Amino acid sequence: MATTLQALRRCGPVELFTAVSATRRDFAPPPPDLALDRVERIAIDDRPPGAGDLARFVARPSDPFEMALRARPTVRAALARFASGHYDLVWYFQAHAWVLSGPPRLAPSVVDLVDAENAKIEAEASVARRERQTGLRRLAKRAWTVEDVRRWGRLHRRIGAATSAVVVCSELDARRAGIAGIRVIGNDYPVPHPPVGRLEVSSPPVVVFQGTLRYSPNADAVRYLVDDIGPRLRALVPDVQVRLVGVASKALAELADPPAVTLTGRVPDMTAELARADLVVIPLRYASGTRIKILEAFAHRIPVVSTSVGAEGLAVRPGRHLLVADDPEAFARACAELLRDAALRRSLVDEAHALYLERYQSSRVEEEVMALARELTGR
């Protein structure tokens, strides 16, 4: 979002209107150097729909189940008060913003989907079916998933028909979204000065997974890392330490076992955590979009081990830019290899850093956002 705002600011004055859950505390105001002209943030009730909302969902067959019905009147009234004068372009960050806001007919509009939610929901349900759910519960969950995926597909088509452009971050998500003429603008990471990665492995070695750990794909990845990959990795590297960096739910607190496993919670600056990391791991089993945490590691010259799902959507080649493994034993072996083989570490980070500079640094993505904005506004 910061990169998009920076790009739009280079095109002209920018106003930012945001709706944030009343329960969230893990956000910050826009950086002052963006010099935005107006900023407003409102708090909304985004609790999951309750029994009283089910009838309204039946009456709205294009609405995914997770949409915050209660928040719509609040958001629309606040946005009507906020919006004034002439606008050349409206840029929506995520489909939720488009649904919550009406959408208002202020100007040509772009919706940045961020994720292909339909694909992510299907993949999450597949993991649950393989591991946890049986019998009637499994059948009910499957029926719910099928309907929710259909609803996301309908919503994507509504957005595609009603807006000037729809943006996703990879060609893979462009195919998944099912919208004709969709635009691809990749994710990015700002160039660090200097990168904090190093070839030498510390003693004890430190493995890092970073992200918002309350986000379902990350929460699942954390449990997979600690419960399934961790014991196998310690059999190969007994003193390895795992650091889980980011805001976590109370349900994940049981995983903490310092120094073997440390949950840091929210940190003021990710750079300090990256500086101590010998390896960044991405053990995701379902997701969509592309992983900024991989771009972050590439930018800082830190080796990466990922699942295939974790690395999808990026122009990476396993064995050249990172190592990829899709079962706990192979993932643990890949981590151990990168903690022991200095030549392999050097080769991967050199290639990964070059790819990042070529494709994924923020200045390149800013230019793509600016080009689309100018195309749509004729300016």
pLDDT at residue 60 in the model: 65
Tell me: do 133 and 222 sit in the same domain: no
Tell me: do 170 and 264 sit in the same domain: no
pTM for this model (two decimals): 0.89
Tell me: do 268 and 184 sit in the same domain: no
* Nearest one of 267, 239, 241, 265 to 253, comparing CA atoms: 265
pLDDT at residue 146 in the model: 85
Structural domains in the chain (count): 2
Tell me: do 229 and 181 sit in the same domain: no
Tell me: do 108 and 218 sit in the same domain: no
Q: If the chain, 379 residues long, is cut into consecutive pieces of 10 residues, what is the mean pLDDT of each piece?
A: 94 94 80 92 79 61 74 92 92 93 85 85 73 65 82 90 94 87 93 96 97 92 97 98 94 95 94 97 93 97 97 97 98 98 98 97 95 93
Tell me: do 218 and 282 sit in the same domain: yes
Residue 311 placed within a domain: yes
Residue 193 placed within a domain: no
With vertex at residue 262, the alpha carbon angle to CA 29 and CA 231, rounded to the nearest 5 degrees, is: 135
C-alpha distances out from residue 222 to 42, 154, 262, 266, 295, Å: 31, 32, 11, 15, 19
pLDDT at residue 176 in the model: 86
Tell me: do 215 and 158 sit in the same domain: no
With vertex at residue 296, the alpha carbon angle to CA 263 and CA 223, rounded to the nearest 5 degrees, is: 35
* Nearest one of 227, 112, 124 to 179, comparing CA atoms: 112
Within 13 Å, how many C-alpha atoms sit on residue 171's CB side? 2
Range of the domain at 175: 2-188+363-377
Tell me: do 331 and 316 sit in the same domain: yes
Residue 107 placed within a domain: yes
CATH of the domain at 224: 3.40.50.2000
